[in-house]
């Protein structure tokens, strides 16, 4: 079942890449920031692909205990060593990204779907409605993020979707604020006024005039959101609110690996840790590069 889902995910991602490639080529001409974006995309694509094809190339069942000696260091037979239960780390690393990727993708998706429309609508309409909604969003923003995520995860119970939802709630205000600050400055621009004066409907204005200008900043927030979601998911697993033990997960190995590190077992925490850092890095590179590209003031 997991294989089929991974297959269609891969197909979708590959078609997106096909459309993006020409744009990537133009990016490479834009200097170091452009390279940053390319590197970021490459990292993310590599990790996604690795996770997608993992079911076929993983040498062992990642959950099966005692396939090798308990907590043995990397060797020829087990290139990344074994866990405290004798599971093969290499297989676990190959397959463990699936949870992180799903959690961050779903949470970003939800965040985006909720935060952006509300932000657009509220700031465009303005007035008391805008003030009221801003107040509510400010209240949510004042919540300590990880605490909400912990509380919601405790309410909903463990699982990929529940973790994603608990993270999503925390980040909605960021989208709202970015969108709102952009819209507030855009909606006073002359050409928007012009569109209004010729009688264009509010949703046309929003979609055709405002949204395209807002998209660049949203994309930046999106990538930071992705990176943060990955790290928050790791944090939730550390507290004990992660997925079930029979689903290989980088965050789980990171948490359990910490217990082994104190007795010298470095391989259980290091490899998943590097993967998590790489994943977060990939998204951050994309975000950093994009924000630099889209910020005209720094062009010299």
Name which of 87 and 206 has its Cβ closer to other proteins: 87
* Residue 94 buriedness (CB in 10 A; 0-12 / 13-18 / 19+): buried
Name which of 53 and 261 has its Cβ closer to other proteins: 261
Distances (CA, A) of 292 to 28, 34, 121: 14, 9, 27
Residues 204, 192: Cα–Cα separation, whole Å: 11
Residues 42, 283: Cα–Cα separation, whole Å: 10
Least distance from C-beta 12 to other proteins, angstroms? Answer: 26
Name which of 119 and 242 has its Cβ closer to other proteins: 242
Residues 66, 74: Cα–Cα separation, whole Å: 15
* Chain positions contacting other proteins, by CB under 8 A: 32, 63-66, 70-71, 84-86, 135-136, 138-147, 150-152, 154-155, 157-158, 227, 231-232, 234-235, 238-242, 244-246, 254-255, 258-265, 269, 273, 276-277, 280-281, 284-285, 288, 295, 297-298, 300
Name which of 121 and 141 has its Cβ closer to other proteins: 141
Name which of 197 and 262 has its Cβ closer to other proteins: 262
- Phi, psi dihedral angles at 81 (to 5 degrees): 80, -175
- Phi, psi dihedral angles at 17 (to 5 degrees): -60, -40
Distances (CA, A) of 34 to 169, 278, 287: 32, 19, 11
Least distance from C-beta 21 to other proteins, angstroms? Answer: 25
Name which of 123 and 206 has its Cβ closer to other proteins: 123
Least distance from C-beta 243 to other proteins, angstroms? Answer: 9
Least distance from C-beta 198 to other proteins, angstroms? Answer: 30
* Residue 42 buriedness (CB in 10 A; 0-12 / 13-18 / 19+): middle
Cβ atoms of residues 91 and 62 within 8 Å: yes
Least distance from C-beta 235 to other proteins, angstroms? Answer: 6
Least distance from C-beta 138 to other proteins, angstroms? Answer: 5
């Amino acid at each position: 079942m997991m294989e089929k889902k991974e297959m269609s995910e891969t197909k979708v991602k590959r078609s997106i890449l096909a459309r993006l490639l020409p744009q990537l080529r133009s990016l490479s001409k834009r200097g170091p920031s452009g390279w940053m974006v390319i590197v970021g995309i490459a990292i993310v694509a590599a990790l996604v692909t690795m996770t997608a094809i993992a079911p076929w190339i993983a040498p062992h069942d990642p959950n099966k205990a005692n396939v090798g000696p308990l907590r043995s260091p990397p060797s020829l037979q087990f290139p990344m060593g074994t866990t405290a239960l004798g599971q093969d780390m290499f297989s676990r690393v190959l397959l463990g990204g699936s949870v992180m990727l799903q959690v961050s993708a779903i949470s970003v998706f939800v965040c985006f779907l909720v935060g952006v429309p509300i932000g657009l609508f509220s700031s465009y309409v303005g007035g008391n409605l805008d003030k009221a909604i801003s107040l509510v969003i400010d209240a949510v923003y004042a919540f300590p993020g990880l605490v909400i995520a912990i509380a919601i995860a405790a309410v909903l119970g463990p699982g990929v979707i529940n973790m994603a939802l608990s993270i999503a709630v925390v980040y909605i205000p960021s989208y709202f604020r970015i969108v709102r600050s952009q819209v507030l400055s855009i909606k006073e621009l002359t050409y928007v006024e012009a569109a209004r004066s010729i009688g264009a409907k509010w949703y046309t204005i929003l979609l055709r005039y405002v949204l395209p200008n807002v998209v660049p900043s949203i994309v930046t927030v999106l990538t930071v959101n992705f990176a943060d979601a990955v790290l928050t998911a790791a944090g939730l697993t550390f507290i004990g609110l992660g997925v079930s033990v029979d689903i290989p997960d980088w965050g789980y190995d990171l948490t359990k690996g910490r217990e082994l590190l104190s007795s010298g077992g470095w391989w259980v925490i290091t490899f998943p840790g590097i993967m998590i850092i790489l994943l977060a890095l990939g998204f951050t590179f994309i975000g950093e590069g994009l924000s630099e590209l889209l910020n005209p003031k720094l062009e010299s």
